[in-house]
Amino acid sequence: MASAQEHLDNIIKYREYYNRELSDIGFQAPTPKAGQKGGNYRRTALQTFADSLLPQRHELAKVDYLDIPYDAVKILEPQVLKACVVEYQNPNNVPLGELREITKVHPQSGHKMNIFVGRESFVKAMGRPGRRVTSFLFDRSALRG
């Protein structure tokens, strides 16, 4: 039977792992609850990642991570983390007309960089909008001959 300190050490280890894996999209692992065990924290974290970062049509978003065996958590964990990074940066998963800001932090320098992802470029909206031509201005009597 593991002590409370051992559970906390495991949670800290997995939280650092999650933050490292999700650093490309600037997402932080959830804060553990008081008295939470390591396996429960991993299930809760995976459920949070799937609900927050994956599109609901994704196969890994449909899994109920709070209700699966611990052996399945070990297998699905790397798959979920990889899918979260890929799908969160995918412009097709951003609603039309919106931009998603992703803050990336360089591991060595700590330099922050903001990247915007969306289906359309924000530059498109800066152009002059097109207008429909209803008529041309010219002398109509010259056409009758």
102-136: per-residue pLDDT in tens? 988 777 888 888 989 998 877 777 777 777 777 77
Which segments of 55-121 are extended strands (E)? 99-105, 112-118
Of the chain, the percentage scoring pLDDT greater than 70 comes to 93
Does residue 59 have a pLDDT over 90? yes
CA distances from 54 to 72, 82, 84, 88, 126 (A): 19, 11, 6, 7, 31
Q: Which of 57, 113, 112 is nearest to 90 (CA)?
A: 57
What number is the average pLDDT over the span 53-78? 93
What is the residue extent of each domain of the chain?
1-88, 91-128
pLDDT at 145: 56
pLDDT at 111: 86
pLDDT at 137: 72
22 HSE (CA, 13 A, CB side): 28
Tokens (6 digits) for 43: 């299930």
Rg (CA), the chain: 25
Contact 14/38 with Cβ under 8 angstroms? yes
What number is the average pLDDT over the span 62-70? 92
More confident residue, 94 or 141: 94
What's this model's pTM, rounded to 2 decimal places? 0.76
**pLDDT tens, residue by residue, 26-41:** 889 999 998 888 889 9
